Amino acid sequence: MDDMITVKNLTKRYGDYVAVDDVSFTCRPGQVTGFLGPNGAGKSTTMRIIAGLTPPTSGVAQLYGVDYRTIPNPATQVGILLDASAQHAGRTGAEVLRLSAMTMGIGRDRVDEMLELVSLTPEEAGRRVRNYSLGMRQRLGIAAALLGDPKILILDEPANGLDPAGIHWMRTLLRGYADRGGTVLLSSHLLHEIEIVADDIVVIGNGRIVAQGTKDELLAGAGTRVRSLDDAALGEALVAAGITVQRNTSGGLDVDADPVDVGRAAAAVGVVLTELRPADGAQLEAMFLQLTAETQREHTTLEGVAR
């Protein structure tokens, strides 16, 4: 099967509130799919539906072409981390993994292997989870998700609580897992986290998909950055050539066109370019902020009311 995760026309309503609104996307093997959006955009609800924890109002979410709840011994097929703080606080880290391994019919050697993989020392593994930092809980949660050697990983905000070294470790781990043929769905409200590791990106705001595609497609869609010795004359030449131009706050112009077309327009009017390059993460960030601005404003208002 080409797509390991298939979400089609997924909707979830709570009374009059629509948490997820006609969401569709797929996740492919060998790829990290970044599920990006501000807090409250519908990421966690969508992931809970995929994991069989929340029933959808309508639409389908399938893994391997079937409903999660119909998969036999599902933890050996799908590794899930939705809430690192939900682990049993009274058990040690090692006990949490051993109980999971027993349920799956997996030997204890795999538990030790996973503890080593996520860099939890024997001393830390022997501590009760209530005494874990959030970062340690995330590592334990990732170990639990990988325990059954699944082909699909679904992780909701797994970098929360990790320090910079921990975030780098997690990215390296997920990249290696996908490169070996695994399928990863990774959510975050932080664009930079997603941008570095993801192959495909799905952006959600107000419960609806607002952009999706490969990272390269989304970056290409953000246009070109150009600076010159005479930006005013260059801007006029570009507009005359039918190219959309925006002045960038840090100087230069953001142009909705291929760099070659920009160079030709500049040459035609004799303007010397000092910078010409495809859009980078700064443009993707601008797109993300623009796409989710409405969601951000609504939640700011709601938070104000709640107080």
pLDDT tens per residue across span 88-144: 889 999 999 999 999 999 988 999 999 999 999 999 999 999 999 999 999 999 999
Whether 300 has a pLDDT exceeding 80, the answer reads no
The model's pLDDT over 15-64, given as tens digits with 9 standing for 90+, comes to 999 999 999 999 999 999 999 988 888 999 999 999 999 999 999 999 99
Give the pLDDT confidence score for residue 88 in this predicted structure.
Answer: 87
Whether 235 has a pLDDT exceeding 60, the answer reads yes
76 burial type by CB count under 10 A (0-12 exposed, 13-18 middle, 19+ buried): middle
Token pair 């050996």 is at which residue? 76
Domain with CATH 3.40.50.300 in the chain: 5-213
Give the residue, 211 or 21, on which the prediction is more confident. 21
Give the pLDDT confidence score for residue 51 in this predicted structure.
Answer: 95
- Backbone Cα Rg of the chain: 23
Q: Per the structure block, which two tokens stand in for 282?
A: 């700064």
State the chain's mean pLDDT as an integer: 88
pTM: 0.78
* Residue 102: other Cβ atoms inside 10 A: 12
Whether 291 has a pLDDT exceeding 70, the answer reads no
Give the pLDDT confidence score for residue 62 in this predicted structure.
Answer: 96
228-257: average pLDDT? 86
194-198: average pLDDT? 89
Least reliable range by pLDDT among 22-31, 185-194, 205-214, 298-307: 298-307
Confidence tier at 307 by pLDDT (50, 70, 90)? very low
Confidence tier at 255 by pLDDT (50, 70, 90)? confident
Whether 306 has a pLDDT exceeding 90, the answer reads no
Give the pLDDT confidence score for residue 96 in this predicted structure.
Answer: 95
> Superfamily assignment of 5-213 in CATH?
P-loop containing nucleotide triphosphate hydrolases (3.40.50.300)
- In CATH, the number for domain 223-278 is 3.30.70
246-257: average pLDDT? 80
Torsion of CA 92, 164, 146, 198, to 10 degrees: 160
* Residue 216: other Cβ atoms inside 10 A: 12
Q: Considering only CA atoms, which of 60, 72, 124 is closest in space to residue 96? A: 124
Residues 11 and 57: beta-carbon distance below 8 Å = yes
Crossing angle between the packed helical segments 108-117 and 93-104, to the nearest 10 degrees: 130
Give the pLDDT confidence score for residue 299 in this predicted structure.
Answer: 46
Give the pLDDT confidence score for residue 284 in this predicted structure.
Answer: 64
Least reliable range by pLDDT among 14-23, 74-83, 245-254: 245-254
Give the pLDDT confidence score for residue 85 in this predicted structure.
Answer: 79
Least reliable range by pLDDT among 148-162, 174-188, 253-267: 253-267
Strand-pair category, 200-205 with 32-36: parallel
Q: Per the structure block, which two tokens stand in for 250?
A: 């840090």
224-228, strands of its sheet edge to edge: 245-247, 253-255, 224-228, 273-278
Whether 283 has a pLDDT exceeding 90, the answer reads no
